[in-house]
């Protein structure tokens, strides 16, 4: 009898069902993640997330904060962009230049973002879609680094699946079909019922 042990070094792959559930949801039925999960998965602090939301660097696209007690909900794409911003900051790119780069990525879909590699010389952020472009950039004698968004996407997909999410219907009310429902929220709902 043989047992299959998982290869811990292997990268998670997106099967069709996971890809459909994360990327192809219609506007009336989206998956959202609360602030603590977004912070943990993106590797940032609450202060960073709050500042970036208030200054509109990365806004929660599913539900923003609307007064005391409201919960922001971040989409998979939002968390992907948060991870990209964090990686760019870690490499020393100024927040001003990161804002310019994020503005260029804002209107693109997750699948489009997942196919690019971001390269920088420490000042400017370049988008590369092929090895030839990266070679041309290096040919100028300028030192650059790269952020492979497909790798971030695979990492995020593998990590985020372990966290609870909320399905939001068109009326912006979470459904009862919440994966890994928040225990405190469930108790509150039972008290008010």
**pLDDT over threshold 50, residue 5:** no
pLDDT at 170: 65
DSSP 8-state symbol, 62: S
For residues 94 and 16, the model is more confident at: 94
> Residue 53 half-sphere exposure, CB side, CA atoms within 13 Å?
23
Domain presence at residue 187:
no
Please state the domain count of the chain.
1
Q: Tell me: the pLDDT tens digits for 145-167?
A: 778 888 898 889 888 888 988 88
Domain presence at residue 90:
yes
The model carries a pTM of: 0.63
pLDDT > 70 fraction of the chain, expressed in percent and rounded: 67
**pLDDT over threshold 70, residue 183:** no
pLDDT at 141: 56
Domain harbouring 83, CATH code: 1.10.1660.10
Q: What sign does the dihedral 188-174-81-148 (CA atoms) show? A: positive
Domain presence at residue 84:
yes
Q: Tell me: the pLDDT tens digits for 89-116?
A: 998 888 988 998 888 888 788 888 888 8
DSSP 8-state symbol, 165: B
Range of the domain at 88: 31-168
DSSP 8-state symbol, 174: B
Q: At CB < 8 A and 24+ separation, what contacts does 103-109 make? A: 105/81, 106/81, 109/23, 109/77
């Amino acid at each position: 009898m043989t047992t299959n042990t998982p290869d811990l070094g292997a990268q998670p792959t997106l099967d069709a069902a996971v890809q459909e559930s994360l990327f192809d949801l219609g506007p009336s039925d989206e998956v959202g993640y609360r602030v603590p999960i977004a912070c943990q998965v993106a590797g940032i602090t609450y202060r960073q997330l709050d500042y970036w939301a208030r200054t509109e660097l990365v806004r929660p696209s599913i539900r923003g904060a609307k007064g005391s007690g409201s919960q922001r909900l971040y989409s998979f794409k939002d968390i992907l962009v948060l991870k990209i911003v964090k990686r760019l900051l870690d490499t020393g790119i100024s927040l001003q230049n990161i804002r310019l780069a994020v503005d260029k990525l804002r209107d693109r879909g997750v699948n489009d973002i997942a196919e690019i590699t971001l390269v920088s010389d420490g000042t400017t952020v370049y988008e590369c879609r092929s090895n030839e472009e990266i070679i041309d950039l290096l040919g100028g004698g300028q030192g650059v680094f790269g952020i492979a968004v497909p790798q971030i996407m695979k990492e995020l997909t593998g990590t985020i699946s372990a966290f609870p999410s909320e399905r939001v219907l068109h009326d912006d009310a979470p459904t009862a079909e919440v994966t890994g429902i928040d225990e405190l929220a469930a108790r509150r709902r039972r008290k008010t019922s």
